Structure 1
């Protein structure tokens, strides 16, 4: 067997992190060599994830873990407060970041793209790793050519920190490439409660729902004369993201620069 791709999972204690640990362990082309969490140094990964990892322990030192494991890829599902430093650290050590955390600016992504190219490595930032969500965004961009009046409702669990979601922002960006910026709704409409009409992106409205019970869901609603079209994707559980994560760990080895959006690996 050819050398397996050596993967460190950052945020391995969290719900997405635990699913990633399982997915990496179950793929014969990947090898889990590190699990990082700032609160669990020295704790067996198996005790937290319920999956046997051959005695692998959590570390709270990302620099040390990336160096000692000779990692190829860092998968990161942490939060916006720490993700930027983690990406910088990975690139510094020549480790390819695969990132599912959202909330980065286009300027930051462009800077990481340059840094990756300087080191001769690839990176992936994906607002959504679910294949169905990528198809939903692609179909929405196509539909906008014919039905330019569109609003987005995205619904996530109540622990999500950023709004709108990275998936909603990516969807808006893709649609904006296919339609002219335009106003929607009545020109004299009035909000009796501020924010009732949602956020405004080039005339498109986006609404964020945060409630317990949700995982990740999005509706893209188009309106036309005498008709509406709704394109919807639902992630029922976090396993839905794992095929995209595993694919990214493999494909990132072939790239130089930062890839923004899983669609760039699929199509």
Structure 2
């Protein structure tokens, strides 16, 4: 699955019309099925779906599936996963059978407490230099193959402090892209999650569940995201472009002389 499809379009420029072909991202219903029961239906780009299933399970706090199968149907795709018996019982207390639009990462929860769920504090002590942050943002821009084709998807990447950018995943949904990335990354404690999108609270929650100590983002965070990152001991860096960025929480992980002056 490439994640995109050639689509005919009529391009109009300066009053002249030309028939053209444009690559557009695919968007299909993807059902996340655990032990035979559908827990979530997300609109997603149909690639890297094993990573998606593994990452979604991890960020929900349900452990690691024993097995994952991707099954295509006429009207969508099922990611069929099997959890150990103990983890499967957890699903009964928080059923999330729902249709999730790509822009929402909290659809299907049934209480305010679940929306503001407490996540474990990150204990990793990784630190970054401004040079590494700039390198991570450049690598993110250069690695967005699907975005370069379609101009319509988000990306999430992982920057390893020793190896540089080691993984990147793309999707029409920013939460989906992050879940795919977490599913593809064995150890998120040794570097930074890098995002093309704004940083909402769900993005921080997912990163915390994966143990990532640093988030780097092109766009700005919300106030709740900052509050959650502070509580989760995550260093939140946003508006990172070229050699300029803003640190909103835990600046001790950023190796600059000015870091101690950041509130």
With a CA cutoff of 8 Å and minimum separation of 6, indicate the structure with the bigger relative contact order: 1
| Structure with the larger helix share | 1
TM-score (norm 2): 0.29
Q: Greater share of strand residues, 1 or 2?
A: 2
